[in-house]
Structure 1
Amino acid sequence: MAQGSNFVDYVKVCCRSGHGGAGSAHLHRDKLTAKGGPDGGDGGRGGHIILKGSTQHWTLLHLKYRKHIIAKDGERGGSALSTGANGADDVLEVPLGTVAKDAETGEVLFEITEDGETKILTPGGKGGLGNWHFKSPTQQTPRFAQPGLPGKEQWVILELKVLADVGLVGFPNAGKSTLLSVVSAAKPEIANYPFTTLVPNLGIVSYRDSKSFVMADIPGIIEGASQGKGLGYRFLRHIERNSVLLYMVPADTDRTIKEEYEILLNELTVYNPELLDKPKVLAITKSDMLDEELENEMRAQVPENIPYLFISSVTGKNITQLKDLIWKEINQ
């Protein structure tokens, strides 16, 4: 089974909340009262469908096969002003970074970003009012009550944007997976051809004094990804959530470092200009192939105003310095 094939970052589900219970039209009767007033209780509200943030989940896999999510209906009101029980809510735990959208309009409903945070996805129908609400001087024994309101049925899309401290940005084959496998315990699938990484790989990078940060290898973007070419859009949304972007350009690129970097930058800008505000670090990978003279020549091609390092995941060259640089950027 390919690594990450159980990483599910998109599900479409049909949600149906509970109907509200009907109010009661009961009139009070007991041994001493032959013709009492109205004492019908209210109906209970229908169950909500609720999303709850959970750090125990990394993907939406557990929702992949739940196509229909149905909450319970509220119960009818009773006599003696007793209110019907509310329908049981259906609470869906989701990973942090889950975005809920209306499947028909594409409108973003909300986003879950904190552990334990709850938001109502599909509200249950309100319970109907019992007949005692309708008592008045002119109508002392109303023999009617409100029906409960129906629940709501809607198709919803849940999308996950990976929450990580560092996102790796580079063309396929820039050495992103190799770096992740060297600095963390993640075991991404690595091969020497483009698009090895088809899902985001997350790795926890241990740092000095038992600190750590999360690094995400976001699948390679290609020129035109921002128009949805290739696997573009699905991957770019994962970059939105990262606090630092590590741009990776291989030393053996056919273009200059600056050209390659600017193409990557342009892809991100077209997709979401706000990504340009994120802290950036540049790593020139595969630099174990370079001698000192060639490396000095290439330094002249590095774009200005960006901290950079020549690294090699194979020989470990400057890997510790890269962690230091990233840590500084995350915590600025």
Structure 2
Amino acid sequence: MTEGNFVDYVKIYVASGKGGKGSTHLHREKFIEKGGPDGGDGGRGGHVYLVGNESLWTLYHLKFARHIKAGHGGDGGSARSTGSDGVDRYLEVPLGTVVKDKETGEVLFEITENGEKRILAKGGKGGLGNWHFRSSTNQTPRYSQPGIAGEELDIILELKVLADVGLVGFPNAGKSTLLSVLTSAKPKIGDYPFTTLKPNLGIVAYREFKSFVIADIPGIIEGAAEGKGLGHYFLRHIERNSTLLFLVPADAKDIKKEYDILLDELRRYNPEMLDKDRLIAISKSDMLDDELKVEMSVQLDKDFGDIPYMFISSVAQQGLTELKDKLWLMLNK
């Protein structure tokens, strides 16, 4: 999937169908001049459904679907025949899709399971035909009910990436490079900040044909929780990761400070993110010799305490097997 095809935010207008109107027909046939009312009911309007599909990874197929409308119910007929139901519309979405009301921002529901089906807009009920209104005092009612109007709704669909591990780091920390060597993903890589503008997913092949999914989240900057940079646009993708892999380059001026800033941005966006398992990877460590690594480890042991860390190099392929082993243990503890 190319970066341009990854769409995780769309606005859509949806409208369910109107119910059909009831019939006011009076029964007439040879030798029966006054057969009484036999008007049928109107059919219900079509529903608009959202359906989870585990084969989808993006909302790209809905990017240009600005208006989704279900069919209207058919009108009732003679001989108490009911009108046809309106045609339902089914919108397939990837797992992890959040549905919000555009006006209020209220979260309506989330789609998290394959095949999960939820009504987004309910079709209007069909009107009753005049047959229902007959009585001993009104044997030929010439009125019926109109169909009930359908629902109209402006919604926002947001995709929160479903991945086991989320890569967290400042722009240019080497996240895309790491993803490219751990998986078969081909993210855009460059020596300038914000090379990645969309989350990239990759499947890490592990021992004995096991695997797990890792997501390269675009670089966070200080103030992201308040919307600086692309703010929430990036951070919401980390909410569903069970483990967070913090990537801090070995040539950073202050490794602990960078980690603290990243952690604080996550805390300010959603304090529950601090409950996730964390692992710190010191990237670009091929520029460090063994003596310098030992010296840095003494300080890092003090800085990080119980938070595990390791030295890796994506370019030199150093420490990657140990990294996968550690992540697998954290995911399956």
TM band (smaller chain): over 0.9
Per the alignment, residue 273 of structure 1 pairs with 271
Tell me the alpha carbon deviations over residues 102-155 of structure 1, each in whole angstroms, 9 at most, x when there is no partner.
111111111111111111112111111122222334333322111001122222
CA distance in 2 between partners of 1:300 and 1:23 (Å): 82
Per the alignment, residue 201 of structure 2 pairs with 202
Per the alignment, residue 81 of structure 1 pairs with 80
Per the alignment, residue 61 of structure 1 pairs with 60
Tell me the alpha carbon deviations over residues 139-176 of structure 1, each in whole angstroms, 9 at most, x when there is no partner.
33322111001122222111111111111011111111
* SS in structure 2 of the partner of residue 119 of structure 1: strand
**Which contiguous aligned blocks of 4+ residues in structure 1 show a shift greater than 6 angstroms?**
none
1:23 and 1:43 in contact (8 A); partners too: yes
Per the alignment, residue 330 of structure 1 pairs with 331
Per the alignment, residue 110 of structure 1 pairs with 109
Residue pairs, 1:229-240, within 5 angstroms: 229-240=228-239
CA distance in 2 between partners of 1:194 and 1:122 (Å): 42
C-alpha deviation, 1:249, in angstroms = 1.0
C-alpha deviation, 1:87, in angstroms = 0.5
Per the alignment, residue 258 of structure 2 pairs with 260
CA distance in 2 between partners of 1:131 and 1:39 (Å): 7
Q: Which amino acid aligns with 1:331?
A: N
TM-score (normalised: structure 2):
0.95
Q: Please, which moves more after superposition, 108-117 or 265-274?
A: 108-117
Q: How many residues are matched? A: 330
* SS in structure 2 of the partner of residue 202 of structure 1: strand
CA distance in 2 between partners of 1:100 and 1:181 (Å): 32
C-alpha deviation, 1:12, in angstroms = 0.9
C-alpha deviation, 1:26, in angstroms = 1.9
Q: Which amino acid aligns with 2:309?
A: Y
Residue pairs, 1:14-53, within 5 angstroms: 14-53=13-52
Per the alignment, residue 143 of structure 1 pairs with 142
C-alpha deviation, 1:33, in angstroms = 2.9
1:163 and 1:242 in contact (8 A); partners too: yes
C-alpha deviation, 1:40, in angstroms = 1.7
CA distance in 1 between partners of 2:70 and 2:218 (Å): 37
CA distance in 2 between partners of 1:38 and 1:324 (Å): 77
Residue pairs, 1:92-103, within 5 angstroms: 92-103=91-102
C-alpha deviation, 1:3, in angstroms = 4.2
Which segments of 5 or more consecutive residues in structure 2 lack a partner in the other structure?
none
Matched, 1:157 2:156: yes
RMSD: 1.5
Per the alignment, residue 219 of structure 2 pairs with 220
Tell me the alpha carbon deviations over residues 265-315 of structure 1, each in whole angstroms, 9 at most, x when there is no partner.
100000001111111111111111111221122223331122221111112
CA distance in 2 between partners of 1:184 and 1:211 (Å): 13
Residue pairs, 1:4-19, within 5 angstroms: 4-19=3-18
Per the alignment, residue 321 of structure 2 pairs with 320
Tell me the alpha carbon deviations over residues 228-266 of structure 1, each in whole angstroms, 9 at most, x when there is no partner.
0001210001111111111111111111x2222111110
CA distance in 1 between partners of 2:147 and 2:248 (Å): 61
CA distance in 2 between partners of 1:304 and 1:130 (Å): 75
Per the alignment, residue 300 of structure 1 pairs with 298
C-alpha deviation, 1:222, in angstroms = 0.5
C-alpha deviation, 1:50, in angstroms = 1.1
C-alpha deviation, 1:32, in angstroms = 4.5
Matched, 1:288 2:286: yes
Q: Which amino acid aligns with 1:309?
A: M
CA distance in 1 between partners of 2:31 and 2:90 (Å): 47
Q: Which amino acid aligns with 2:249?
A: P
Q: Please, which moves more after superposition, 240-249 or 296-305?
A: 296-305
1:45 and 1:74 in contact (8 A); partners too: yes
Q: Which amino acid aligns with 1:317?
A: Q
CA distance in 1 between partners of 2:226 and 2:299 (Å): 28
* SS in structure 2 of the partner of residue 236 of structure 1: helix
1:71 and 1:88 in contact (8 A); partners too: yes
CA distance in 2 between partners of 1:199 and 1:82 (Å): 54
